[in-house]
């Protein structure tokens, strides 16, 4: 009996402090197959509330899960949807409130999309400059936003190794826009 109770306690403990994606996150990641995901929009009141929440840290266990691989693939398909192409996307935009962003690296050969886990900007460098922005979650609005031209980014790569990088120009602007999503901020807040 004591052993059984211990087993139950261990199982409950595992569930309570389990660091994988939650059941509802897994539902969202698997929702309606494996293609383009629904992008949350401020035009929808429920979506709007979700877009305004802060996202949560990603664990190594999440990163190594089947769900992350699927989420990664689906976010990539979503940001490259021919009907609404973006240059970056944050996981909360597809309903997964985790610190994951994909950014198109215009500062790299071939301009690939790359994923950044638990990213933060640790230094803003130089000057701010105004530039036009839009957002997949904010239909039909574009506007000029002032952003730093150079940032120092700290993040985990997809092997969960901590890295730091200096990013400049338009790519730095995309990082600032996507990182705002993780704080529940939208570019229209600056207009
Ligand atoms: Ni956006």
Q: How do residues 131-177 score in pLDDT, each as one tens digit?
A: 999 999 999 999 999 999 999 999 999 999 999 999 999 999 999 99
Q: Which residue in the list 25, 67, 133, 178 is annotated as catalytic?
A: 178
Report the separation in Å between the CA atom of 185 and the middle of ligand 1, taken as the mean of its atom positions. 9
Residue 128 has a CB neighbour count (10 Å cut-off) of 12
Dihedral angle of Cα 48, 50, 56, 60, to the nearest 10 degrees: -100
100-123 pLDDT, tens digit each: 999 999 999 999 999 999 999 999
Q: For residue 178, indicate whether it is catalytic.
A: yes
Nearest to 148 by CA among 117, 115, 179: 179
Percent of the chain with pLDDT over 70: 91
Do residues 128 and 149 lie in contact, with contact meaning Cβ atoms separated by under 8 Å?
Answer: yes
> What's residue 2's pLDDT?
56
Report the separation in Å between the CA atom of 186 and the middle of ligand 1, taken as the mean of its atom positions. 7
Exposure on the CB side of residue 14, measured as CA atoms within 13 A: 7
60-75 pLDDT, tens digit each: 999 999 999 999 999 9
Nearest to 54 by CA among 119, 102, 99: 99
21-32 pLDDT, tens digit each: 999 999 999 999
Tokens found for residue 122: 């640790």
pLDDT at 6 over 80: no
Q: Supply the pTM of this predicted model.
A: 0.90
Report the separation in Å between the CA atom of 90 and the middle of ligand 1, taken as the mean of its atom positions. 7
> What's residue 7's pLDDT?
55
Residue 7 has a CB neighbour count (10 Å cut-off) of 10
> What's residue 1's pLDDT?
54
């Amino acid at each position: 009996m004591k052993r059984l109770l211990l087993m139950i306690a261990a199982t409950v403990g595992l569930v309570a402090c389990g660091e994988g994606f939650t059941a509802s996150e897994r539902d969202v990641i698997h929702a309606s197959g494996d293609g383009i995901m629904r992008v949350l929009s401020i035009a929808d009141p429920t979506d709007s509330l979700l877009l305004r929440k802060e996202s949560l840290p990603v664990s190594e266990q999440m990163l190594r899960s089947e769900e992350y691989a699927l989420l990664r693939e689906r976010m990539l398909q979503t940001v490259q949807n021919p009907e609404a192409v973006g240059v970056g996307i944050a996981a909360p935009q597809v309903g997964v409130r985790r610190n994951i962003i994909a950014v198109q690296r215009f500062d790299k050969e071939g301009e690939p999309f790359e994923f950044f886990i638990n990213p933060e900007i640790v230094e803003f460098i130089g000057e701010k400059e105004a530039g036009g922005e839009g957002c997949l979650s904010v239909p039909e609005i574009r506007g000029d936003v002032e952003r730093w031209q150079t940032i120092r980014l700290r993040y985990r790569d997809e092997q969960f190794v901590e890295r730091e990088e200096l990013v400049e120009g338009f790519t730095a602007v995309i990082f600032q826009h996507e990182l705002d999503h993780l704080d529940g901020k939208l570019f229209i807040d600056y207009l």
